[in-house]
Amino acid sequence: MRIVLGVGAGIAAYKSCELLRLLTESGHNVRVVPTPDALRFVGEATWAALSGEPVSSGVWDDVHDVPHVRLGQTADLVMVAPATADLLARVAAGMSGDLLTAVLLTARCPVVFAPAMHTEMWQHPATQANVSVLRDRGAVVLDPAIGRLTGPDTGPGRLPEPAELFAVALRVLARGAGGLAADLTGRRVLVSAGGTREELDPVRFIGNWSSGRQGYALARAAAARGAKVTVVSANVALDDPAGADVVRVTSALQMRDAVIAAAAEADAVVMAAAVADYRPESRSDAKIKKTDASPPPLRLAQNPDILRELSRDRPRPGQVVVGFAAETGNLRANGQAKLAAKGCDLLVVNQVGGGLAFGTDDNEALILAADGAETAVPRGPKEVLSDVIWDLVASRLV
């Protein structure tokens, strides 16, 4: 694939060197187009050496090749990282004073912007208005990560990690120029991920094997399709998905509160987390000591059924609710029974064990719909299953 990597004039430009490496090492042909001021942060020689391609920033370079037109016309993807407030403003206004902005005017392929700037600049009404304009035009504009900025400042405005931006690029490329790369633009989606833990004492807990990989793959796929994504994440040791707002929880009760709060603004909710059915009836404030006597009995209390509650009490008309069911027996029979009991629109039923589902990069599933439709997804990367789920969700959104 032919990718144009645009680089704005921000200190986060150094992180795009790693993004470029990931793109080229995965076999893509990448042409780096920095703004003139971006070369103050990372020089032309670095971009040329890493990409193996010439680097230009001005419209007067190599005029005979008409790069300001040809690069945009032939690209399969244009990704701008970092996208500064100034660059977003110029692109939204349709200006073309340098090669990158000219390329963005001629590009007819998917375009992804990864903003990076100080919090105040990101939150300024002018920047938010420019972001809205670009999203309305079909571009994918990721929300920046929250974290350390330049100096002592911390807040929204950090460029997501290169590996997460790379994952977004792959998902957009997988959809293709003629696909629905931004079909969730303007939609708010909520994804739960990971596995809850129910504490016995300060040391021990009841838990499960969920790694959060499927939930995070769903979040990345939704962000790559233009959605504003919230992830309620339980005990996950993964980098935050690019473009997602991550809310961290530990227990099922905490997840229930966070999910119900976030669902109030969501057009779609996908409950991919493995939520404990039970919790200890009481928690010991001190570590339970091992003795020669028989261990004390473990009394359990039932946790709330978050999926059933969401399906029953939908805060928004037309909200689409998706559940997950990990099964070890008859997928169709068990799944149909659970679909009827939960009342959700779609239920993703997957077999666990044998190298599937928990803690793996692959998954396979049978997706059951309340209207009787069935979609079988063969074993493959969790990103592929994620796109199938969002295809089904998008077709049901009103």
Report the run of H or E that residue 220 belongs to, with start and end.
Answer: helix 213-224
Matching residue, tokens 């994918």: 140
Q: Could you tell me what percentage of the chain is helix, strand and coil, using 3-state DSSP and rounding each to the nearest 5?
A: 35, 25, 40
Q: Which residue from 42, 33, 36 is spatially nearest to 15, judged by alpha carbons?
A: 42
For 203, the token pair is: 């040391």
Indicate if 350 belongs to the active site.
no
Please, are residues 75 and 4 in contact by the beta-carbon 8 Å criterion?
yes
H helices present in the chain, as ranges: 13-25, 44-51, 67-74, 85-92, 99-106, 119-123, 125-136, 162-175, 213-224, 252-263, 306-312, 331-342, 382-396
Overall residue count recorded for the chain in this entry: 398
Task: Name the catalytic one among 208, 303, 330, 350.
Answer: 208
Q: Which residue from 125, 121, 140 is spatially nearest to 229, judged by alpha carbons?
A: 140
- The pairing of strands 228-234 and 188-194 is parallel
Report the run of H or E that residue 344 belongs to, with start and end.
Answer: none
Matching residue, tokens 């969920």: 210
Other C-beta atoms within 10 Å of 64: how many?
5
- The pairing of strands 154-158 and 145-148 is antiparallel
Residue type, 292: D
Please, are residues 57 and 99 in contact by the beta-carbon 8 Å criterion?
yes
- The pairing of strands 2-7 and 29-34 is parallel
Q: Which residue from 46, 50, 81 is spatially nearest to 165, judged by alpha carbons?
A: 81
In angstroms, the CA 142 to CA 356 distance is 30
- Residues with catalytic annotation? 208
